[in-house]
Amino acid sequence: MKVKENKSLFLKQFGDTPQLRVLDFLIDNYNFDFPMTEIARESNVSYNSIKIFFPYLISSEIIVKTRHIGKSDYYKLNLESQFVKNLIKLDWSLVEESVVIETHSQKRAQLVEA
């Protein structure tokens, strides 16, 4: 498994658990569908771990099966779910807040240098 060098703002805010890593990956790639193996690899979560909680994500309609290719089922976030919509909004608000904080820090640094 590859090790993610920088944690996302989502993971920094809510913790770094396998379930949250999977959600973070799917939020970042919400327009695309993936097989479980790729979701596991890209989320840096073992396939055996993902098999434990993946059925819950499906039954709670957080993710949906989109298609079947060969031996693989493909999944993506359920963009019709209000919960998922709120997660995506939350992720964007974390990014916006981070940008504002970084901008203020840069302005302060420029004032100190002047």
Per-residue pLDDT of the chain (114 residues; tens, 9 = 90+): 555 557 888 888 888 999 999 999 999 999 999 999 999 999 999 999 999 999 999 999 999 999 999 999 999 999 999 999 999 999 888 888 877 666 766 666 666 665
Say if 81 falls within a structural domain.
yes
Q: Are 57 and 27 in contact (CB under 8 A)?
A: no
Domain with 23 in it: what CATH number?
1.10.10.10
Tokens in use for 36? 């479980």
Say if 45 falls within a structural domain.
yes
Domain of residue 42 covers 9-113
pTM: 0.80
Can you tell me the distance from the alpha carbon of 83 to that of 88, in angstroms, rounded to the nearest whole number? 9
8 backbone dihedrals φ, ψ, rounded to 5° = -70, 165
Report the pLDDT value the prediction gives residue 92, as an integer from 0 to 100: 87
